[in-house]
Amino acid sequence: VKMNCAVQGIVACVAYLLWQIIYTRQHFQESILEPMKVANTTYAYAIFILCTIAVSNLVHALTFFHTLKYFQGGATSAGVMKGLQAVLVFVVTSWFYCGRLGGSEMCFTTLKFMSLVIVVGGVILYGSATSRSNLEHRKGNYERINDSADN
């Protein structure tokens, strides 16, 4: 798992660095500086925003790989949690931005509510099925296979 994390992190950093060198450097004035000037954003505030996003991404990556390694179901559980995260973003976005920023797409709708019900229902069903499966495995005296490469 550690090697997987390291490889993915290095590949992502290299891809991001190449994007900055090839694209952003050539379009820095119109893509970065001009919008900053229009929004009255200082360099310090822009750096603060970038650092906040970087820390958020770090926490996200750490929790994702922790889920893969330690949470029952691994990647499937991570996918289920991602669905739950998406519907929670609907709710939080509506609370913070509806009527304040953007258009009606920021507001909670009937369709978003239906999505929330379906996803939360799926998370509950998955959780109960996983719980039952774990109980059955314990009764059958199954043993977990440990991979020494995970250490």
Which structure tokens are listed for 60? 């996200």
Tokens encoding 108: 């909670």
Give me the pLDDT at residue 35, please.
92
Nearest to 94 by CA among 106, 81, 84: 106
Q: Number of C-alpha atoms within 13 angstroms, CB side, residue 1?
A: 16
Q: Tens of pLDDT along the chain (151 residues)?
A: 678 878 988 999 999 999 999 999 999 999 999 999 999 999 999 999 999 999 998 888 888 778 777 776 777 777 788 888 888 888 888 888 888 776 778 888 888 889 888 888 888 888 778 767 766 666 655 555 665 555 5
The three-state secondary structure class of 77 is helix
Q: Is 130 exposed, middle or buried (0-12, 13-18, 19+ CB in 10 A)?
A: middle
| Dist CA 32 CA 19 (whole Å) | 14
pLDDT for res 42: 93
User: What pLDDT was estimated at residue 30?
Assistant: 94
pLDDT at 26: 93
